[in-house]
């Protein structure tokens, strides 16, 4: 089974039930992610791997949002939804351009090649001053523990990446300037990071 297939038979309500890992990791990371995305205004935003729209709901009011997901049934928000693979974004949006490509907790589903394709296609579909905003799980410490546990206990293949690998892939994909913001876990130890890459 491919890692994203785990959501095929999951409803929006089931997906949104918060489990222990949410409190240990994502909730703490949100202290950095939410203030940043709540400031975004008047942008055309593509949310890649939108899921049920956990982050999209904070950006909806002041921006125009389009969601892409390989499991589009998950999102019940009033946004335009496109069914598609993040590694083939350019085909999915067929020639349209965006100010921001946003993705949260998607890249851990992408292997090295898919991740590069996601970066390359994000660059292609961004306007000239566009930005890619994405989260990445770190390849050490709690991040590594998180993806190892997902694989060993829950049999879900997930990926984590070093900043060096990510910066090199972003540069290869055409991004020029990248800011990295560490995302803390419950113990205040970073387990992931958010990148903001400029075209």
Ligand X SMILES: C[S@@+](CC[C@H](N)C(=O)[O-])C[C@H]1O[C@@H](n2cnc3c(N)ncnc32)[C@H](O)[C@@H]1O
Size of the site for ligand X (CB under 6 A): 18
Which one, 17 or 164, has the nearer CB to ligand X? 17
Tokens representing 176 are 């020029």
Helix (H) and strand (E) counts in the chain: 8, 7
Which position among 25, 43, 55, 117 is part of the footprint of ligand X (CB under 6 A)? 55
On whether the CB atoms of residues 101 and 133 are closer than 8 A, the answer is yes
Rounded-to-integer distance, Cα 133 and Cα 116, Å:
15
Which position among 49, 67, 130, 190 is part of the footprint of ligand X (CB under 6 A)? 49
Least distance to ligand X, CB of residue 176, Å? 25
Judge residue 51's burial from the number of C-beta atoms within 10 Å of its C-beta, 0-12 exposed, 13-18 middle, 19 or more buried. buried
Collapsing DSSP states into helix, strand and coil, what is residue 163? helix
121 counts as binding ligand X under rule CB under 6 A: no
Report the phi/psi class of residue 43: left, alpha or beta, with left for phi > 0 and alpha for psi in -120 to 50. Answer: beta
Q: How many Å is the Cα radius of gyration of the chain?
A: 16
Which position among 25, 43, 54, 142 is part of the footprint of ligand X (CB under 6 A)? 54
58 counts as binding ligand X under rule CB under 6 A: no
Which one, 35 or 129, has the nearer CB to ligand X? 35
Judge residue 105's burial from the number of C-beta atoms within 10 Å of its C-beta, 0-12 exposed, 13-18 middle, 19 or more buried. buried
Span from 37-45, 70-78, 150-158, 189-197 in contact with ligand X (CB under 6 A): 70-78
Q: Which uninterrupted H or E stretch holds 32?
A: helix 27-38
Residues 3-32 as x/- pattern, contact with ligand X by CB under 6 A: -x--x-------------------------
Residues 79-98 as x/- pattern, contact with ligand X by CB under 6 A: ------xxx-----------
Which one, 34 or 145, has the nearer CB to ligand X? 34
69 counts as binding ligand X under rule CB under 6 A: yes
The residues binding ligand X (CB under 6 A) are 4, 7, 49-51, 54-55, 69-71, 74, 85-87, 104-106, 109
């Amino acid at each position: 089974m491919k890692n994203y297939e785990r959501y095929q038979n999951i409803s929006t309500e089931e997906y949104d039930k918060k489990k222990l890992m949410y409190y240990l990791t994502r909730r703490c990371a949100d202290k950095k992610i939410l203030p940043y995305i709540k400031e975004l205004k008047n942008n055309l935003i593509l949310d890649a791997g939108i899921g049920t729209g956990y982050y999209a709901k904070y950006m909806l009011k002041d921006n125009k949002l389009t969601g892409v997901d390989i499991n589009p049934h998950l999102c019940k928000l009033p946004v335009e939804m496109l069914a598609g693979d993040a590694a083939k974004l350019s085909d999915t949006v067929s020639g349209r351009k965006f100010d921001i490509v946003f993705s949260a907790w998607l890249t851990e589903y992408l292997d090295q090649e898919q991740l590069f394709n996601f970066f390359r296609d994000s660059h292609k579909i961004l306007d000239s001053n566009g930005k890619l905003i994405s989260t990445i799980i770190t390849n050490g410490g709690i991040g590594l523990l998180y993806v190892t546990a997902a694989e060993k206990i829950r049999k879900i293949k997930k990926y984590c990446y070093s900043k060096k690998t990510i910066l090199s892939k972003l540069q290869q994909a055409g991004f020029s300037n990248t800011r990295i913001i560490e995302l803390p876990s419950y113990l205040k130890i970073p387990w992931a990071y958010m990148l903001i890459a400029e075209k």
